[in-house]
Chains A and B, each alone.
Chain A
Amino acid sequence: MSTLATPGEKAELMETAAVKGRSLWEDARARLMRNKAAVVSIIVLGTLVVLAILGQLGVWVHDYDTIYREEVWVPPTFENWHLFGTDAQGRDMVARTLVGLGVSLMVGIVATIVSLVIGVTWGATAGFIGGRVDQAMMRFVDILYSLPFIFFVIILMVVFGRNIILIFVAIGAVEWLTMARIVRGQTIALKRMEFVEAAEAAGVSQWMIIQRHIIPNVLGPVVVYVTLMIPVVILAESFLSFLGLGVQEPLTSLGRLISAGAQDMEVAPWTLIVPAVTMMVTLFCLNFIGDGLRDAIDPKDR
């Protein structure tokens, strides 16, 4: 990516230097592509995302909320295309798992964006202003850090009903703290870097420094943390769903499917195994990609 050089400067660089330097991002991509676990995870996760989107569109032969009264707890079979069997009410598990996966991924992404916005704004503000404002803002984060937030999310869900938008906001509002810390730390460290000082000395405007030096350099850790946060959010949502506080029937999420499956595991183990394995694979992939990205972007952490 050429965010570090404007077109004019780039042309100049091309003339003076025969060897083109590789940017941070090109380097990172090359390192990521060498990480087998991460590459496999990207492929698997991509497949899962496509399947989940198809599931939401209702492409599968069965709908996720169609009840087949004569086919309760059918084990996985090719008959009637119940590849993963049916649940306690005779609903097709393939369709339900795909819809559940879609909902879980959506919650993961949206809630992460909510927390990204809050966290980056908070952290960047504290880091830039510094001094007492920074102290007060980070002290507030420290205090929130030590609280049992899940209790408040539970109360929130009980009080305001099981609304899917509320789940996004509640989880996002709880998970922004680490993001704020990372962004603040990075901003402060960057402000003191020699290349920022050099840019200041050369008379580059404040806004230009932010755009060309601060943002691209903060982006790395933020991208890594976002990848590692999506699984955390998915877990939080399934935790709520498991307790019966997440999305409402007939809509479903992986947590809700697992919760139902855990109750029927003695008679119909596939209702537990299918969503549980789907969830494990998804979280595995996200964690591997996040770890891979961290190693790729910040190689000294290895």
Chain B
Amino acid sequence: MFGFIFRRVLIAIPTILVIIAVAFFMMHAAPGGPFDLERPMPDETRQLLMARYGMDQPVWKQYLDYMVNLFQGDLGPSLKVRDKDVAEIVAEGFPVSATIGICSMILAVICGSFLGSVAALRQNTSGDFAVMTFAMVGISIPPFVMGPILALFFGLYLGWLPTGGLDPRLGMTPDRLILPVVTLALPQIAIIARLMRASMIEVLRSNYIRTARAKGLSPSTVIVRHALRSAILPLVSYLGPASAALISGSLVIEVVFQLPGIGKHFIDAALQRDYTLVMGVVIIYASLIIVLNLIADLLYGVLNPKVKYE
């Protein structure tokens, strides 16, 4: 097990280094730079600015400098947001993104596995049909359609919920969280429900469930103690990809609901060529996804005794 973790970490390190390099050189290959404003600035100012941020150096030198700083835990200053380090911006945005992401994940896992199990237990009934239709709707409606529609309906039309503007200074009250969290979680609820239904149906057909029933165990014991335990395994291995999907989904959610999270900063930064901020967000999200995948794999091994990590 420790060997397995060790090998995975060993692979993760070069992966992250390659991601950093690719992102860095791609950004710097771009025509146009962070100091291209609508109003052209005098050449002297421009050169001063370039020198201040080390951008008058050749690209490989900039890369080396960046890596040296990175290893000291310094993500550099933002090129666009005045007087702020990338680390500060990320630290401000992270709680917002993390809250939404974690809430969505919990909601998706609970609702998805519940709906999927119910559909499997009532296979080919109207209940099953309703859940599968809902799942199809959830998969087919992208969050950037669902978001505005939900905001229009619950925010403007019914006036039950605030439509956006999750401000950390106002505090992240539950009513402000509901719409973004639900919008982000919906497609994942749908996918998990389909996954859970398929795996539950397969488990229910297996011999040991028949044995458990034949022993005379009550239906609820058979389902909760025997079926659910192995039916949940495919769901666990989906958690890694699910977290990646939630992180990319959060980009849109933060734009739709105007939330000051990392995703929104990333989009703004990419459009304005704020190199250091883009790099910072890519590094943090890539590491996060790799770590979450590793955790999901380990969890899968702990829960499934058939898997042995040599």
Q: A residues within 8 Å of B by Cβ?
A: 139, 143, 145-152, 154-156, 158-160, 231, 235, 238-239, 242-244, 255, 258-259, 261-262, 265-266, 269, 272, 276, 279-280, 283-284, 287-288, 301
List of B residues within 8 angstroms of A145 by Cβ: 241
Residue of B nearest to A283 (CB): B140
Q: B residues within 8 Å of A by Cβ?
A: 11, 15, 19, 22-23, 26-27, 29-30, 136-137, 139-142, 144-145, 147-149, 152, 156, 198, 240-241, 244, 247-248, 251-252, 255-256, 266-267, 270-271, 273, 278, 281-282, 285-286, 289-290, 293
- In the docked arrangement, what's the CA distance between A212 and B181, Å? 50
The main secondary structure of chain B at its interface with chain A is helix
- In the docked arrangement, what's the CA distance between A150 and B137, Å? 23
- In the docked arrangement, what's the CA distance between A231 and B141, Å? 11
List of B residues within 8 angstroms of A158 by Cβ: 30, 270-271, 273
A242 with B270: CB separation less than 8 A = no
Instruction: List 23 interface pairs A-B (beta carbons < 8 Å), by A numbering.
Output: A139-B11, A145-B241, A146-B290, A148-B282, A150-B248, A151-B23, A151-B266, A154-B267, A155-B23, A155-B270, A155-B282, A158-B30, A158-B270, A238-B144, A239-B142, A239-B252, A258-B145, A262-B144, A266-B156, A279-B142, A283-B141, A284-B140, A301-B198
List of A residues within 8 angstroms of B241 by Cβ: 145
B136 with A265: CB separation less than 8 A = no
Give B154 Cβ to nearest chain A Cβ, in Å. 13
List of A residues within 8 angstroms of B198 by Cβ: 301
Instruction: For the complex of A and B, list the 9 residue pairs with the smallest distance between their C-beta atoms, beginning with the closest.
Output: A283-B140, A159-B30, A262-B148, A150-B248, A146-B293, A242-B144, A276-B145, A284-B140, A158-B270
Contact residue among B26, B27, B149, B251 (Cβ-Cβ distance under 8 Å from A276): B149
Residue of A nearest to B247 (CB): A148
Q: Given A155-B27, A239-B252, A244-B271: A259 and B136 within 8 A (CB)?
A: no
List of A residues within 8 angstroms of B136 by Cβ: 284, 287-288
Give A153 Cβ to nearest chain B Cβ, in Å. 10
A143 with B11: CB separation less than 8 A = yes
List of B residues within 8 angstroms of A149 by Cβ: 248
B15 with A239: CB separation less than 8 A = no
